[in-house]
């Protein structure tokens, strides 16, 4: 009963704050649209809870992403009652001694990875986040998910803020992205993707403000967000950071093509050069091992919905051979007639519905590439590189649907920066926007 009342209190408080989010971010979005989006995200949290509790129950609670980090954080939270200093040492990573390993870490299922060879263990970030949120939620999973949904909402508005100046049909662009079923489901609950959406969106909003008027606290907040981004989704940061540098450099350039082309050449040169630094720093090896790890996990857990994929090798050319299949897997998935299971069918229908809606919206659309070259190239190159990375390393449809949500803000907003609806479609959308907003 206490948990339910606390949940309602936090929900009402966050709804009240959500009403003022457009004013805080300085964006043109209706208050009620933000509040409706937040309520939809809260509903998605419960839907996610139901999916992992009932549909994926056979996989075991210890393998369910919304439970496994929460359960490990229970050990951390229990330490707060017995020894608060131990709790804060684990929270901030101050102590990794043998004593802590025996008392706490050895009892957690996911603090250590049994066989995965990634250079950074982001599981610990999620466990610590659950521990931190539990200070305010009294270790309630549903309240932690509520916090996560709100943080993700801030990120979506941050993304919108970054692209807003260049967008056509602004309200439609935000609504289409924020209310997309896969975006709602996988970027609302207490998952890495939700936190990453929040961090990435807030960083881009901070970048937009800094480009207008740089100040000390703005720089400090961006550095903190970068550090947080590194510990939650490092590979997305490694793609976004060089693109961001080129985007900033080309703010006042009319022809940014050369800079972005040079960046792609430089990135491939670095890709090859890292192989000379030894196995632990070799990016070709990391990609090969990441795919191999996922395939091993796939067979270990008996994952379904396996897509055709090209096997990567520890070399410099297999990434080009595997690129077409990898992009197809992330953008198209598979044909609607080849589904297996209700969730897979829902994912396929959503994807084809999105493609159809975008085709209708942008039928005979007016192109604005010449006006928005820099931001369109920035967005689409992130989508290209990020979707390739997801496709290279993830041959399972369910995982792809979830992982690709980090690229959807760049894809949707990039399209609405590039194309402006015309004719009857534009008239309908304008009338629709006036009626609802």
Digitized pLDDT (tens) for each residue of the chain, 437 residues in all: 788 899 999 999 999 999 999 999 999 899 999 999 999 999 999 999 988 888 776 666 777 788 889 988 888 888 888 888 888 888 887 766 677 777 788 788 878 776 555 556 788 889 999 999 999 999 999 999 999 999 999 999 999 999 999 988 888 889 989 988 889 989 998 999 999 999 999 999 999 999 888 888 888 999 999 999 999 998 899 999 999 999 999 988 778 889 999 999 999 998 888 888 877 788 888 888 887 777 776 666 666 677 777 788 877 888 888 889 888 888 886 666 555 666 667 777 777 777 887 777 777 667 777 788 899 999 999 999 999 999 888 888 778 888 999 999 999 999 888 887 666 655 555 555 555 55
pLDDT score of 399: 83
Do 171 and 256 fall into the same domain? no
Contact 241, 235 (CB under 8 A): no
- Structure pTM? 0.90
Same domain, 191 and 281: no
DSSP 47-99: HHHHIIIIITGGG-GGG-HHHHHHHHHHHHHHHHHH-HHHHHHHHHT----HH
Instruction: Indicate whether 298 belongs to any domain.
Output: yes
187 and 293 together in one domain: no
Pairing outcome for strands 419-420 and 366-367: antiparallel
Residue 383, number of CB atoms within 10 A of its CB: 24
How far lies 317's CA from each of 261, 308, 322, 327, in Å? 19, 19, 9, 16
192 and 296: one domain? no
Same domain, 143 and 46: yes
Look at residue 430 in the predicted model and tell me its pLDDT. Answer: 53
Backbone Cα Rg of the chain: 22
**Is position 284 within any domain?**
yes
Domain range for 404: 252-437
Q: Are 424 and 360 in contact (CB under 8 A)?
A: no
- Asked whether 406 and 197 are in contact (CB, 8 A), the reply is yes
Report the C-alpha gap between 71 and 201 in whole angstroms.
Answer: 28
> Which of these three, 132, 162, 196, is where a domain ends?
196
Check whether residue 185 and residue 314 sit in a common domain.
no
Handedness of CA 87, 89, 91, 96 (dihedral sign): negative
Identify whether residues 293 and 174 lie together within a single domain. Answer: no
Both 306 and 415 in one domain: the answer is yes
Name which of 322, 341, 359 is nearest 401 in CA terms: 341
Is residue 229 situated within a structural domain? no
- What pLDDT score was predicted for residue 223? 93
Q: Are 333 and 189 in a shared domain?
A: no
Is the residue at 366 inside a domain?
yes
338 shares a domain with 411: yes
Q: Is residue 395 included in any domain, yes or no?
A: yes
pLDDT score of 14: 96
The Cα-based distances of 374 to 85, 177, 206, 399, 413 in angstroms read: 49, 21, 18, 31, 13
Let me know whether 24 and 124 are in one domain.
Answer: yes
256 and 366 part of one domain: yes
CA count, 13 A, side-chain hemisphere, 36: 11
Residue 332 lies in a domain: yes
The count of structural domains within the chain is 2
pLDDT value at residue 60:
66
């Amino acid at each position: 009963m206490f948990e339910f009342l606390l949940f309602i209190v936090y929900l009402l408080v966050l709804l009240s704050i959500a009403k003022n989010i457009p004013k805080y971010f300085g964006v043109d979005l209706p208050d009620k649209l933000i509040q409706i989006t937040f309520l939809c995200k809260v509903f998605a949290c419960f839907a996610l809870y139901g999916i992992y509790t009932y549909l994926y129950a056979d996989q075991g609670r210890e393998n369910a992403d919304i439970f496994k980090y929460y359960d490990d954080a229970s050990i951390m939270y229990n330490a707060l009652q017995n020894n608060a200093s131990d709790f804060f040492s684990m929270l901030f990573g101050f102590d990794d001694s043998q004593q802590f390993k025996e008392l706490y870490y050895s009892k957690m299922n996911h603090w250590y990875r049994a066989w995965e060879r990634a250079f950074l263990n982001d599981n610990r970030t999620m466990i610590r986040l659950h521990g931190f949120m539990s200070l305010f939620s009294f270790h309630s999973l549903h309240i932690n998910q509520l916090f996560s949904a709100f943080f993700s909402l801030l990120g979506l508005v941050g993304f919108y803020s970054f692209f807003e100046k260049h967008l056509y049909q602004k309200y439609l662009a935000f609504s289409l992205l924020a209310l997309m079923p896969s975006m709602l489901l996988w970027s609302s609950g207490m998952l890495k993707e939700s936190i990453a959406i929040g961090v990435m969106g807030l960083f881009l909003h901070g970048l937009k403000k800094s480009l207008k008027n740089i100040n000390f606290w703005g720089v400090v907040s961006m550095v903190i967000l970068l550090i947080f981004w590194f510990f939650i989704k490092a590979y997305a940061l490694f793609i976004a950071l060089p693109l961001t540098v080129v985007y900033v450099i080309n703010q006042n350039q009319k022809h940014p093509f050369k800079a972005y082309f040079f960046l792609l050449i430089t990135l491939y040169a670095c890709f090859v050069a890292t192989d000379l630094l030894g196995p632990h720093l070799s990016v070709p090896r990391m990609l090969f091992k990441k795919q191999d790890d996922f395939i091993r996990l796939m067979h270990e857990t008996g994952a379904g919905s396996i897509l055709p994929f090209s096997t990567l090798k520890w070399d410099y050319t297999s990434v080009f051979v595997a690129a077409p299949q990898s992009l197809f897997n992330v953008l198209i998935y598979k044909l609607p007639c080849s589904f297996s299971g209700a969730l897979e069918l829902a994912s396929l229908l959503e994807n084809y519905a999105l493609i159809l809606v975008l085709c209708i919206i942008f039928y005979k659309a007016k192109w604005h590439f010449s006006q928005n070259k820099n931001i369109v190239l920035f967005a689409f190159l992130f989508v290209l590189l990020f979707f390739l990375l997801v496709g290279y390393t993830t041959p399972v449809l369910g995982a792809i649907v979830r992982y690709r949500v980090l690229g959807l803000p760049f894809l949707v907003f990039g399209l609405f920066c590039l194309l402006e609806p015309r004719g009857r479609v534009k008239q309908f959308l304008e009338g629709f926007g006036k009626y609802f907003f």
